[in-house]
Structure 1
Amino acid sequence: MNKFSDSVPESALPLPASHAMFDGTIAMSSGSLRPEKDEWLQEQLVPGLKLIVVDRGELLCDLPGSGRQHITGPCVCAVWNQQEGESRQRFEPGRQLDYTTIALTPAAVASHIDSEFQQQLEASFQSRRFSGPRLLVLEASATIKSLHAQVATCPMQGLSRALFLSGKALEIMAHALDSLISRPAPEASALRLSNSDIDKLHLARKLLAERMLNPPSLAELALSVGFNTRKLTVGFRRQFGESVFEYLQNLRLDTAWRMLTEGEVSVSTAAYSVGYTPAHFSVAFRKKFGVSPKSLRG
């Protein structure tokens, strides 16, 4: 059975590796810190990718290769590390920091993230220019903040709790990774889109709409329109103002809205028709439109 930490001692650091899920290559931890002392604390870094959602609070992080950074929540910290090492962290004494961490071992990265996606991550972290661990701090989207809140307030116990939190870990990971690869790299500002490139981006959006229930992967979509995945993700956000993932989610919810307001369909039917389970559909629908889907059925 999967285990997750709901709280940690005040002097502890968020170390998710002891709470493994799936095949032991992905781990999750969630809790709060309220240190009493103003001191630097050491944390052992292990190879892999770690995502830390800082919902509330602040800290200083001193990471070899990335320098010292002041981090204030809400945000998402992404650490990409390919070798053993350590970092130092200093928390504000007496101030609570709420967090959720998800860690992927190198085996998880290799088995769950295809090679082209890994290349995009390396480009985002500029791994070829810098050795050692790399830290990026991203804005926490409304979706990620909502997922963190669901993790922190999960009322379930036992196996139901483990399954629920496993699902939320994957959702957080998906949104955070989407933000990472969509984040403009330093060279992205120089990206020029020709008229032909723009036509390809519109074709990519059309293909997503046609395959809404069974969308292609980023690599498949890029190949279909003659782009590499990096140019697709950066170009798509630049042209349409949202990532590929965000476009697909908004398309599904907008389609469901029309189904509920223009036709005689149930909430469950609308949910399954756009690729959601009813429970996840209701949460996503309310988040986007501010009303529950059930309220549209009178």
Structure 2
Amino acid sequence: MDEIDWLVHEAEGRQALRVSERTVIRDSQWDAEIERIEIGPGMRVFLTEVTARSDIAVQPRDTETVPWISSNVAVSGLVEIEMPDGLQVAAGPDQAILFRPSARNPRYHVKAPQRLRLAGYALRVDRVRQIFDGVLPQALAPLLEPDVTASRIIPMQATRQLRSLADSLFSPDLNGPLRHLFIEGAVLQLLARQMAGRIGQRRALGRQEREALAAAHSLLLLDMRQPPSLGELAAAVGLSEKRLNAAFRSEYGGTVFEVLRNHRLEHARIALEAGAAPIKQIAFRVGYNHVTNFINAFTARYGMPPGRYAVTAPDRRGRPQRRITTEN
């Protein structure tokens, strides 16, 4: 197996770490275990577990000359992915992705503090065609074109079933050929589920619908403490509840409720970093009447409870982001 050359950039210089199947990093800024598994020709799996105490940027460098498509499913935590041409997307509690970058590999941004558990896989384009035996899902076709000049992304809802499949890849119960056989089957199931749940299959929005959607988005986020119900929001902009939810998924990566929740949690994260108020007050201000519900939602999105996030926040203020480059 080819080795992965990790180049760790720190204030004092550059440190090279030689890695093959698994790398383990423990230092003051992050703990990480990253495993790369080759499953026969044309299939790779990357299993990443990170506890980030400082913001991290990771960029794999791929020397492959043949095209691959990739996927990321976050079992817990959130990772922001920046494509070579500037296109950005996130893999987190609500959304998983299939993608093909325009050129070199994308950059992965992990914000601290959080615990990230990320399952990723890569499939060579000819292997994908072989899997589907020539009968390709229509939505997958743009990722398999011979020449891709702009990054292509297929988002889909990260259902509980999808995250459970991704989580099963981390299972330590099997070893050797049995583990490889299990992982190959799990990756094929992930691909099938992702195609079944893709967001891109929904009908495109017309001009009037886009205007209605923008109005609905503004109304929804106008008052996080007392937002309109789905029915009220749909009636206000003249769309059905079903169509409004579908449009939100297509344009904003989640249902009306999911977009509202993510907005609330992002505001809460900023307030926690600023030390603006106690957790109970922050929960109330962003629209949670029960602090337990807030804690559960925050932990699911950021990989740690808000109390721990608030305690570690002062260590991050003023600290520059740490950039890490990987090469495989």
TM-score scaled by length of structure 1: 0.50
Normalized per residue, which structure has more helix? 1
> Which structure is richer in relative contact order (CA contacts within 8 A, separation 6 or more)?
2
Bigger strand share: 2
TM-score (norm 2): 0.46
